[in-house]
Amino acid sequence: MALTPELFDGGIWRIPLPMPFGPPFINVYLLPCPGGWMLIDTGLDNRNSADALAEAMAGFGVEPSQLRHIVLTHLHADHCARASHLRDLSGATVWMHPADAAFLLQLKSTTAPYDALDEAMRTAGTPDDTRIQVRASYEKLIQLFPMLSPDALLEDGVILESWIGPLQVLWTPGHSPGHCCLYAPERKVLFAGDHVIDDITPHIGWLPGQDTLGQYLGTLDRLDQLDVELILSSHGQPFTGLREWTRRVRDHHAGRTAELLQHQQDGVIMADDLVRRLWPRELRPLDYQLALTEVLAHLEHARR
Ligand SMILES: [Zn+2]
Ligand SMILES: [Zn+2]
C-alpha cells in the first residue's frame, strides 16, 4: 500500500508511517506553530518508519531542526519511539502526560507490570504454557518502547499554540493511563490519537484494581460536548461523526459487558474461559494478552 501524506485545512500534514505489526500504519501529524513546527507522535524507531518521516518532511521543505514541539498522545512505541532521536536533532520540547511518563518508566525499569500481568493470568486460570509465552511476548514488545522522559507535561487544560489556533489538551485515559487528545476549537479538529479510531473499537488498557473502562467511557461523555467536524486519528483514515462514533462504541461495550455477565450466569467464571468463549480460536500471545486484559477491564467495570 502506498502511504502518501495528505494536507488538511491548508496546513496540517497527515503522514502515514509503516508498521510491521498491528495496524498497517500510524498517522503522525505535522503543523506549523510559533517559531517552527509541531509534530504529533513520531512512529516506530526503525529504518522504514524513520525514512518515511524524513522523506515526507523533506518533501514539505521542513528540516528536523525546525521542530519546536513533539507532542506524544501516549506511551505506545508506535507513538513515541523516535522522540528522543528527533529531540536530539532539533532541541524540540517533548510533551507527554505524567501518568504515561510514570508508566513508561515503570515498564522500562521494573518488573512490576509483567508481574501484575503474570498474577492476573494465574488468577484467570490461564494455562502455564500460555502464561509463559504471553509474559515473554509482553517483555519483548516493551523492548520497542523508548527509555524517555518528557521535557514538559501534557496535562489536561494545557494550551499549545499552533497554526490552526490554540490546541487544548484533553486527558483521555483508558487506552493508556495518560492518553491525551488535542482539540482545535477554532477549526473544530480533534487529534484523537488511539482514543477514537474509525472502524475500530480502541483497546482498553488494564491496570490492576482500576476501572479503566469506566475512565474511558467517562471521556466519551466529555468528547460529546465538543464541536468537532474532523477527527484525525493515529490509525486509519480521517473521518467525521464523533457523536455517532461514541454512541456505537458505548453500545459495543455495554453489549460486551452483558455478554460476559451472561456467560458468568451460565457458570463460566474464570477469565481465561471467558476469553475462549469470546474469541473461540487460536490466539497468538499478544492477541491473548489484549483479549484477557479487555475481559478483565470489563469485569472490573461490571463489578463496580
Ligand atoms: Zn496505543
Ligand atoms: Zn497506536
Distance between Cα 290 and ligand 2 center (Å) = 14
Query: Looking at residue 1, what is its pLDDT?
Result: 56
Distance between Cα 216 and ligand 1 center (Å) = 13
The secondary structure of residue 151, as a DSSP letter, is S
The secondary structure of residue 203, as a DSSP letter, is P
Q: Is residue 229 part of a domain?
A: no
Which residues lie across from 67 on neighbouring strands?
37
Which ligand is the nearest neighbour of the Cα of 202?
Answer: 1
By DSSP bridging, strand 152-153 and strand 180-184 are unpaired
Range of the structural domain that residue 273 is part of: 111-144+250-303
H helix runs in the chain, sequence order: 47-59, 77-80, 83-90, 98-109, 112-124, 128-142, 212-224, 242-265, 271-278, 285-303
Query: Looking at residue 92, what is its pLDDT?
Result: 98
Distance between Cα 303 and ligand 2 center (Å) = 29
Distance between Cα 194 and ligand 1 center (Å) = 5
Of 105, 177, 102, 112, nearest to 138 by C-alpha is 112
Of 105, 83, 88, 115, nearest to 178 by C-alpha is 105
Query: Looking at residue 245, what is its pLDDT?
Result: 98
Q: Are 16 and 56 in contact (CB under 8 A)?
A: no
Residues with CB under 5 A from ligand 2 (ion): 78, 194, 234
Per-residue tens of pLDDT for the chain, all 304 residues: 568 999 988 889 999 999 998 899 999 999 999 999 999 999 999 999 999 999 999 999 999 999 999 999 999 999 999 999 999 999 999 999 999 999 999 999 999 999 999 999 999 999 999 999 999 999 999 999 999 999 999 999 999 999 999 999 999 999 999 999 999 999 999 999 999 999 889 999 999 999 999 999 999 999 999 999 999 999 999 999 999 999 999 999 999 999 999 999 999 889 999 999 999 999 999 999 999 999 999 999 999 8
303: Cβ contacts below 8 Å, ≥ 6 apart? none
Distance between Cα 193 and ligand 1 center (Å) = 8
Q: Are 206 and 159 in contact (CB under 8 A)?
A: no
H helix runs in 125-201, sequence order: 128-142
SS3 category, 114: helix
pTM reported for the whole predicted model: 0.96
Q: Is residue 157 part of a domain?
A: no
Q: Is residue 211 part of a domain?
A: no
Distance between Cα 265 and ligand 2 center (Å) = 35
Q: Is residue 181 part of a domain?
A: no
Q: Is residue 84 part of a domain?
A: no
Distance between Cα 116 and ligand 2 center (Å) = 23
The secondary structure of residue 279, as a DSSP letter, is S
The secondary structure of residue 209, as a DSSP letter, is T
Cα separation values, 279 from 124, 138, 292, Å: 15, 20, 10
Distance between Cα 275 and ligand 1 center (Å) = 21
Distance between Cα 69 and ligand 2 center (Å) = 19
Distance between Cα 22 and ligand 2 center (Å) = 9
Give the C-alpha separation, 201 to 186, whole Å. 28
SS3 category, 159: strand
Which ligand is the nearest neighbour of the Cα of 41?
Answer: 2
Residues with CB under 5 A from ligand 1 (ion): 76, 194
Q: Is residue 116 part of a domain?
A: yes
Query: Looking at residue 22, what is its pLDDT?
Result: 85
SS (H, E, C) 17-76: EECCCCCCEEEEEEEEECCEEEEECCCCCCHHHHHHHHHHHHHCCCCHHHEEEEECCCCC
Q: Is residue 58 part of a domain?
A: no
Name the domain count of the chain: 1
Which ligand is the nearest neighbour of the Cα of 176?
Answer: 1
Q: Is residue 130 part of a domain?
A: yes
Give the C-alpha separation, 121 to 143, whole Å. 21
Give the C-alpha separation, 163 to 166, whole Å. 8
Exposure of 284 in the CB half-sphere (CA atoms within 13 A)? 6
Distance between Cα 74 and ligand 1 center (Å) = 7
